[in-house]
């Protein structure tokens, strides 16, 4: 298949090559999918299996034998432990999820190995999203580190703890690109940008899986939710998705490709529909693109009862029809509904589903078990002795603290008020999160966490103060309600202090699955508390607690210092104290744009321009793309973040102003730490295609580098741009390059920077 460029010159590459090329040039080495073919052993097993046993391998159930913790999902199809064990022995279960504990898992595995006819081992899965016993920052927070290596390290540590507790498979990372901050699951992903999302998706897969899938501490990763869940209309959870094929391919699919290129062997089909076809019955997504174009050889598991939900979607007539549609579209494994067990035997007998389709899915599931060494060692990762040894070790906790501090974003620092001195100032820590230990982990964090590890802010601050007695702590109010006398005590505390630390924002149950919000402001009672505190005239440092971008207003927006502190996990209090007192110089950058107003959502930096962009001149704003009351700008843009030192970026140079078709452009600049303390700067490279056959984003991130510099030190940063970085999806879903002029910026955020331009020359 050849591809025509704008100039008409043939390029000569298949769509698939171009698609993987796009992911590869986002900074990833594209590798062929890991060798993952069914072996003779798998074929021999398959030949002996009854249709009931095949359906069993394709069924995954909540682990009620070692009861799941928490209540993440509605109770559906719950069995008791005895019934479930009997089903395991009958060969009617392929995988169990969300139970933990090595000994009980070992016992259940024994039931499968010694009690079932074909002795096929079980896979043990769980939603281990950002830590296990020790909890790391929510993925969105960690994305603010702009540090894929950090994400790889926290995923590795997560896998080490989780596999020690009898787990093989995590339903993570969530790689959904989320451009609407009303959606609660923004917290679980890497934010609004594709490029950052690709790098973090790949890093997390590498971290979870480690170098050797058969190793006892390797955990299978599941990039989810396939696909476009992040694009639910109006940010409403589970809502329908309406989007163009080009946006699907340019924005929502690339992080999945990056995750597969990094070796992920499973994915999860999403709850939502995409342009009228539910993802869980979407052959175009699950078979044509995933397997056909990308060559994915792994397993597709449905989301929780997503196959059964095809009925509520109005896409399947009944449960039987739902099972048929899901398996024919490409869902190998059914989660929790039990529909495959119930209907596959009859669907195959009646000819509605060919046996070959079922066999292909069973082969994949068995090959997955084989890939992690389960047939040779069914008891891998099920050794109770490892559980204590590999959990919450000092190294893992230190990593949690480091990750927490690196995820914090300094949004504002007038004065500068920060860092705070450790002696000589009386501090008042005010707000519902001041000494709260129940909202440090984030929505998934509480699931398996050892909550005894949670460090609240007050504890973290006191540990670093020369005189811990000079910290006054007053909640003032709860997250959404008042406390009797709370405001009065908080105001008195502020009056008695030199500096106020105001810990306000969202509780963790305002974020995550099924937690969409209509507006993204701080709850009114906390805003009122902030006003009462500001009226004392004391300088205020806002410590924002949140799982999404927040609309800041009034005295909170106008406070002299603001830190985005998200949900940082077990070590939250220590990590925040490290930044407040300057042990760590903040270097996080926003992975989501903070809008001026909730009503701007969906708001993201890389939208396309209109025919009437708002000019900077305030007098020329009539009939322009703006709201009646505000410009359509960010309050704090994607990529933004301050430091305790100052960085100057100068001397931007391009190796050529005329880039030949297959050549590489080098973009360089100098970065200098011209302030007084050591710090890290995240230098960002953006492009814009000035004129194209499709309107293009006003900016697109194409590279970033973290530079660590001592005061006075200077370094050159160097980026490479190739034609493939400049591609986009044109007619008939092909990635195309078009010759023409491109702007390029070396920037501190998505709205500033040194600018230059170059021309991509036609081929030949």
Positions annotated as catalytic residues are 303
Dihedral sign for Cα atoms in the order 162, 168, 171, 172: positive
Q: Minimal distance in Å, beta carbon 513 to ligand BGC?
A: 6
Please tell me the distance from the alpha carbon of residue 521 to that of residue 527, in angstroms, as a whole number. Answer: 9
Q: How close are the terminal C-alpha atoms of the chain, in Å?
A: 20
Q: Nearer to ligand BGC by C-beta: 132 or 171?
A: 171
Give yes or no for residue 304 binding ligand BGC (CB under 6 A).
yes
- Considering only 18, 61, 171, 487, the residue that binds ligand BGC (CB under 6 A) is 171
Q: Minimal distance in Å, beta carbon 57 to ligand BGC?
A: 19
Give yes or no for residue 127 binding ligand BGC (CB under 6 A).
yes
Give yes or no for residue 124 binding ligand BGC (CB under 6 A).
no
Please tell me the distance from the alpha carbon of residue 544 to that of residue 635, in angstroms, as a whole number. Answer: 15
Query: Whose CB is nearest to ligand BGC?
Result: 171
Instruction: Scan residues 492-511 and list those touching ligand BGC (CB under 6 A).
Output: none
Strand pairing report for 123-126 and 266-269 = unpaired
Residue 415 corresponds to which tokens in the numbers above? 């004065």
- Considering only 53, 250, 303, 321, the residue that binds ligand BGC (CB under 6 A) is 303
* Binding track, positions 700-719, relative to ligand BGC; x by CB under 6 A: --------------------
Give DSSP secondary structure letters for 681-699: EEEEEEEEESS-SS--BS-
Give yes or no for residue 250 binding ligand BGC (CB under 6 A).
no
Q: Nearer to ligand BGC by C-beta: 95 or 665?
A: 95
Residue 360 corresponds to which tokens in the numbers above? 């292909």
Give yes or no for residue 69 binding ligand BGC (CB under 6 A).
no
Q: Minimal distance in Å, beta carbon 54 to ligand BGC?
A: 23
- Considering only 39, 73, 393, 459, the residue that binds ligand BGC (CB under 6 A) is 73
Judged by DSSP in three states, 277 sits in strand
- Considering only 69, 72, 583, 614, the residue that binds ligand BGC (CB under 6 A) is 72
Q: Minimal distance in Å, beta carbon 168 to ligand BGC?
A: 15
Give yes or no for residue 307 binding ligand BGC (CB under 6 A).
no
Dihedral sign for Cα atoms in the order 755, 707, 196, 635: negative
Residue 737 vs residues 114, 265, 464: alpha-carbon distances, Å? 58, 31, 55
Residue 11 corresponds to which tokens in the numbers above? 């390029």
Q: Nearer to ligand BGC by C-beta: 147 or 188?
A: 188
Q: Minimal distance in Å, beta carbon 169 to ligand BGC?
A: 11
Judged by DSSP in three states, 323 sits in helix
With beta carbons less than 8 A apart as the criterion, state whether 94 and 365 touch: yes
Nearest to 240, CA basis, from 274, 270, 265, 267: 274
> Angle at Cα 473 formed by Cα 471 and Cα 474, nearest 5°?
150
- Considering only 513, 601, 689, 700, the residue that binds ligand BGC (CB under 6 A) is 513
Q: Is 514 left (phi over 0), alpha (psi -120 to 50) or beta?
A: left
Q: Minimal distance in Å, beta carbon 71 to ligand BGC?
A: 11
Q: Minimal distance in Å, beta carbon 84 to ligand BGC?
A: 16
Q: Nearer to ligand BGC by C-beta: 301 or 579?
A: 301
Q: Minimal distance in Å, beta carbon 730 to ligand BGC?
A: 33
Q: Nearer to ligand BGC by C-beta: 125 or 520?
A: 125
Give yes or no for residue 169 binding ligand BGC (CB under 6 A).
no
* Per-residue H/E/C for 377-407: CCCCCCCHHHHHHCCCCHHHHHHHHHHHHHH
Judged by DSSP in three states, 619 sits in helix
The partner residues of 714 in beta bridges, in order of sequence, read 672
Instruction: Give the containing element (helix H, strand E) for 266.
Output: strand 266-269
The footprint of ligand BGC on this chain (CB under 6 A) covers a number of residues equal to: 9
Other C-beta atoms lying within 10 Å of the C-beta of residue 545 = 31
758 phi and psi angles, rounded to 5 deg: -150, 165
Please tell me the distance from the alpha carbon of residue 687 to that of residue 681, in angstroms, as a whole number. Answer: 20
Give yes or no for residue 238 binding ligand BGC (CB under 6 A).
no
Q: Minimal distance in Å, beta carbon 325 to ligand BGC?
A: 19
Dihedral sign for Cα atoms in the order 595, 598, 602, 607: negative
Instruction: Scan residues 678-697 and list those touching ligand BGC (CB under 6 A).
Output: none
Instruction: Give the containing element (helix H, strand E) for 143.
Output: helix 139-143
Q: Minimal distance in Å, beta carbon 228 to ligand BGC?
A: 14
With beta carbons less than 8 A apart as the criterion, state whether 409 and 564 touch: yes
Q: Nearer to ligand BGC by C-beta: 224 or 252?
A: 224
Please tell me the distance from the alpha carbon of residue 487 to that of residue 500, in angstroms, as a whole number. Answer: 14
> Angle at Cα 265 formed by Cα 119 and Cα 328, nearest 5°?
80
Residue 287 vs residues 299, 330, 371, 441: alpha-carbon distances, Å? 11, 6, 22, 37
Give yes or no for residue 142 binding ligand BGC (CB under 6 A).
no
* Binding track, positions 201-230, relative to ligand BGC; x by CB under 6 A: -----------------------x------
Instruction: Scan residues 15-54 and list those touching ligand BGC (CB under 6 A).
Output: none
User: For the chain, how many residues are written?
Assistant: 764
Q: Nearer to ligand BGC by C-beta: 238 or 603?
A: 238
Q: Nearer to ligand BGC by C-beta: 188 or 193?
A: 188
With beta carbons less than 8 A apart as the criterion, state whether 560 and 417 touch: yes
Give yes or no for residue 578 binding ligand BGC (CB under 6 A).
no
Q: Which residues contact 253 (CB under 8 A, 6 or more apart)?
A: 227, 289
Q: Nearer to ligand BGC by C-beta: 402 or 513?
A: 513
Q: Nearer to ligand BGC by C-beta: 304 or 433?
A: 304
Q: Minimal distance in Å, beta carbon 183 to ligand BGC?
A: 12
Q: Nearer to ligand BGC by C-beta: 146 or 171?
A: 171
Interface residues with ligand BGC (CB under 6 A) are: 72-73, 98, 127, 171, 224, 303-304, 513
């Amino acid at each position: 298949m050849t591809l025509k460029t704008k100039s008409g010159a043939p390029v000569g590459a298949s769509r698939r090559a171009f698609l993987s090329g796009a992911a590869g040039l986002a900074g990833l080495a594209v590798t062929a999918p890991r060798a993952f073919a069914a072996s003779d052993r798998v074929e021999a097993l398959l030949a002996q299996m009854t249709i009931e046993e095949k359906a069993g391998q394709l069924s995954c159930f909540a682990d009620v034998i070692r009861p799941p913790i928490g209540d993440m999902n509605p109770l559906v199809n719950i069995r008791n432990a005895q019934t479930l064990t009997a089903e395991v022995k009958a060969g009617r279960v392929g995988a169990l999820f969300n139970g933990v504990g090595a000994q009980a898992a070992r016992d259940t595995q024994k039931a499968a190995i010694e009690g079932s006819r074909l002795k096929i081992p079980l896979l043990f899965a769980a939603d281990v999203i950002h830590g296990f016993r020790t909890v790391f920052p929510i993925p969105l927070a960690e994305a603010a580190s702009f540090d894929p290596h950090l994400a790889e390290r926290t995923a590795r540590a997560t896998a080490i703890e989780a596999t020690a507790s009898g787990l093989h498979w995590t339903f993570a990372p969530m790689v959904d690109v989320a451009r609407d901050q009303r959606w609660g699951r923004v917290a679980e992903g890497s934010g609004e940008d594709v490029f950052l999302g690709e790098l973090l998706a790949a890093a997390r897969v590498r971290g979870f899986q480690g170098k050797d899938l058969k190793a006892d501490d390797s955990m299978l990763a599941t990039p989810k939710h396939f696909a476009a869940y992040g694009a639910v209309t109006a940010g409403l959870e589970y809502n329908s998705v309406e989007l163009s094929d080009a946006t699907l391919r340019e924005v929502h699919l690339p992080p999945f490709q990056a995750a597969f290129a990094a070796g992920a062997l499973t994915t999860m089909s999403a709850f939502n529909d995409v342009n009228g076809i539910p993802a869980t019955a979407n052959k175009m997504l699950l078979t044509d693109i995933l397997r056909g174009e990308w060559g994915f050889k792994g397993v597709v598991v449905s989301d929780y009862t997503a196959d059964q939900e095809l009925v509520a979607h109005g896409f399947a007539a009944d449960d039987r029809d739902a099972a048929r549609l899901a398996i024919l579209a490409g869902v190998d494994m059914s989660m929790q509904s039990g529909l495959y067990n119930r209907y596959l035997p009859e669907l195959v007998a009646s000819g509605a589903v060919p046996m070959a389709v079922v066999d292909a899915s069973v082969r994949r599931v068995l090959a997955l078990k084989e890939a992690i060494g389960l047939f040779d060692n069914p008891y891998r990762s099920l050794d109770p002795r490892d559980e204590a040894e590999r959990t919450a070790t000092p190294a893992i906790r230190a990593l949690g603290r480091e990750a927490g501090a690196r995820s914090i974003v300094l949004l504002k620092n007038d004065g500068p008020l920060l860092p705070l001195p450790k002696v000589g100032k009386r501090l008042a820590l005010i707000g519902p999160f001041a000494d709260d230990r129940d909202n440090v982990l984030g929505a998934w964090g509480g699931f398996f966490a050892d909550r005894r590890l949670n460090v609240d802010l007050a504890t973290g601050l006191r540990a670093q103060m020369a005189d811990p007695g000079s910290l006054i702590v007053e909640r003032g109010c709860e997250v959404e309600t008042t406390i009797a006398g709370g405001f009065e005590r908080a105001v008195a505390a502020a009056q008695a202090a030199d500096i106020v630390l105001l810990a306000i924002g969202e509780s963790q149950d305002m974020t995550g699955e099924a937690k969409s919000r209509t507006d993204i402001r701080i709850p009114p009672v906390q805003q009122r508390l902030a006003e009462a505190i500001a009226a004392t005239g004391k300088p205020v440092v806002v410590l924002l607690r949140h799982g999404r971008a927040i609309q800041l207003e009034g005295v909170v927006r106008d406070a002299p210092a603001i830190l985005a502190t998200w949900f940082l996990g077990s070590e939250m209090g220590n990590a925040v104290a490290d930044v407040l007192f300057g042990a760590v110089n903040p270097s996080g950058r926003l992975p989501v744009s903070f809008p001026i107003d909730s009503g701007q959502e969906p708001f993201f930096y890389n939208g396309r321009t209109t025919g009437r962009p708002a000019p900077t001149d305030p007098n020329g704003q009539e009939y322009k793309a703006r709201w009646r009351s505000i410009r359509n700008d960010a309050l704090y843009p994607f990529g933004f973040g301050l430091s305790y030192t100052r960085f100057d970026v100068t001397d931007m140079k391009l190796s050529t102003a005329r880039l030949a078709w297959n050549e590489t452009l080098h973009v360089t600049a100098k970065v200098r730490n011209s302030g007084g303390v050591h710090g890290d700067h995240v230098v960002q490279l953006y492009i814009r295609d000035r004129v194209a056959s499709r309107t293009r984003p006003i900016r697109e991130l194409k590279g970033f580098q973290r530079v660590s510099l001592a005061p006075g030190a200077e370094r050159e940063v160097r980026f490479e741009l190739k034609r493939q970085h400049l591609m986009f999806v044109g007619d008939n879903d092909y990635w195309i390059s078009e010759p023409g002029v491109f702007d390029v910026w070396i920037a501190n955020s998505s709205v500033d920077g040194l600018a230059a331009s170059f021309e991509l020359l036609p081929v030949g």
